[in-house]
Amino acid sequence: MKSKTNIFLLISAVLAVVITGWVYYQMSHSIGELSSNTEIDGDFKVCDEDKIPNYYSMDTDYEGGKKAIKNELLSNLQNLKFEDSGLITFRFIVNCEGEIGRFRIQSTDLKLEKIEIDSEKLKTLEYALVSLKKWNPAKNEFNSYDSYYVLNFKIRDNRVVDIF
Amino acid sequence: MKRFFKILKLILASLLTVYSVVIIYMLAFSSKEDRYTFASHLQGACLSQSMFEILKFQDPSNDRIYFEQSVPYNKRGYYEKGFRLLDKAVEIDPKMHLGYRGYMKLRFLRDFKGALEDLDRLDSLTPGVVDTPWGEDIDFLRGEAYFGLENYEKSKFYFKRSIENQGEDWADIQAFVYTGLSELELGNREQAKNHFDKALNQSKYTVEAHIGLARIYLENAELKKSKFHLDKAEEYFSYKRNDPYNEYLNEVYKDDLSLLKNFEA
């Protein structure tokens, strides 16, 4: 009887801990979080790993907007040829100091099915992004913050035709 | 004393069990509507997505769940996942979700042809109704899609129809601006001017119309008038059209003002 009481207590405690841990994890994490990988991210640092909002909630932007990004990059990417039409979407972090890194890439065709793009071409796009130096990090009246940003390279007729 | 500890253990174990049961009940068995609302308010959180998964399992034909679950994926650039969910919502209730999918293809993907396919299909399913996908006139969105395709005759046609649909006083001011921009692309400066003026009659704060007029007057070598509109554009710049998620096709920037000022100089 004594052991039955202990087993009941043990099982109920374990269940409560597991459920609480699961709910806590689920509440404190959201889709699209990019974890650090030093092999591909180099020495890129964020200011607060636990607090990285999305660009649309913090007005993260590039000086002159996406139009300026397009003006800076598009003409230099015209020699890059692609097989499929679609989108190459970069999700990355603009850190509190206006540096960018932790690039993660999704490539989709016109039906939004995942497609493979030659890694060298993706590297070229990433280098082009790294060359952008006029980022305005997320900020409010108190501080500057890290934030996630999304940028799309639109592919049509085998080349990049738009960046937005 | 032993009896006391035993009772204490039983009480504690019972409380922990009740706690676990209540959480499981709230996540999986309470009112579906309440859980849907809760998950929607937690948009993007893993818990929200898990709750949508449970709801989909329990109510697989509820289009609203697929729609709502798709939103954070698309906002964060995971279009493959987001659109798979949205496609399912459209499959279940096309009249309800085609407009939103068209809007998303237009604004988030700049897939102008795909947007037009969805918007045209929605229009064919609702004869006699002027649809308003995501709160915007369907012809305004079609006009924007044709503008993106650089088919300015068609963009002009749909923006004008949008103005007719809503009535001049109620139309989106940007429909006048886009009509002006389309006319400008077609080389019709006078008509363009006319539409930019109409936008300014609706609101003097329409920065895009001031910039359009400044450009036309500059090309006509009417520098005084060009400067007037450029100054107004600068004064009212904070009223410019923008969106936290995406850049509009006719979005203007401070650089546009500097460029025109340099030409004037």
Residue with tokens 């937005």: A164
Task: Inform me whether the pLDDT recorded for A19 exceeds 60.
Answer: yes
Claim to verify: residue A58 and residue A10 sit in the same structural domain: no
In total, chain B counts a number of residues equal to: 265
Claim to verify: residue A143 and residue A123 sit in the same structural domain: yes
pLDDT score for A3: 85
Alpha helix (H) residue ranges in chain A: 2-28, 38-41, 55-58, 65-73, 119-130
Claim to verify: residue A1 and residue A70 sit in the same structural domain: no
Claim to verify: residue A9 and residue A87 sit in the same structural domain: no
Interface of B with A (CB under 8 A): 6, 9-10, 12-14, 16-17, 19-20, 23-24, 42, 44-47, 49-50, 72-73, 75-80, 83-84, 109-111, 114, 244-247, 251, 253-255
- How far is the C-alpha of B51 from the C-alpha of B41, rounded, in Å? 12
Claim to verify: residue A64 and residue A112 sit in the same structural domain: yes
Claim to verify: residue A134 and residue A88 sit in the same structural domain: yes
Radius of gyration of chain A (CA): 22
Claim to verify: residue A85 and residue A156 sit in the same structural domain: yes
Claim to verify: residue A26 and residue A99 sit in the same structural domain: no
> In Å, how far is B84's CA from the nearest CA of chain A?
8
Joined together, the tokens standing for residue B196 give 């930019």
Claim to verify: residue A49 and residue A108 sit in the same structural domain: yes
pLDDT score for A103: 98
**Domain range holding A143?**
35-163
pLDDT score for A160: 98
Claim to verify: residue A157 and residue A80 sit in the same structural domain: yes
Claim to verify: residue A39 and residue A57 sit in the same structural domain: yes
- Best A1, A9, A116, A161 member to test B by mutation, with max B CBs in 10 Å, is A9
**A104 — contact with chain B (CB < 8 Å)?**
no
Claim to verify: residue A26 and residue A97 sit in the same structural domain: no
Overall number of domains in chain A: 2
Span B222-247, pLDDT tens digits: 999 999 999 999 999 999 999 999 99
Would you place residue B264 in the very low, low, confident or very high pLDDT band (cuts 50, 70, 90)? Answer: low
- Mean pLDDT value across residues B75-86: 98
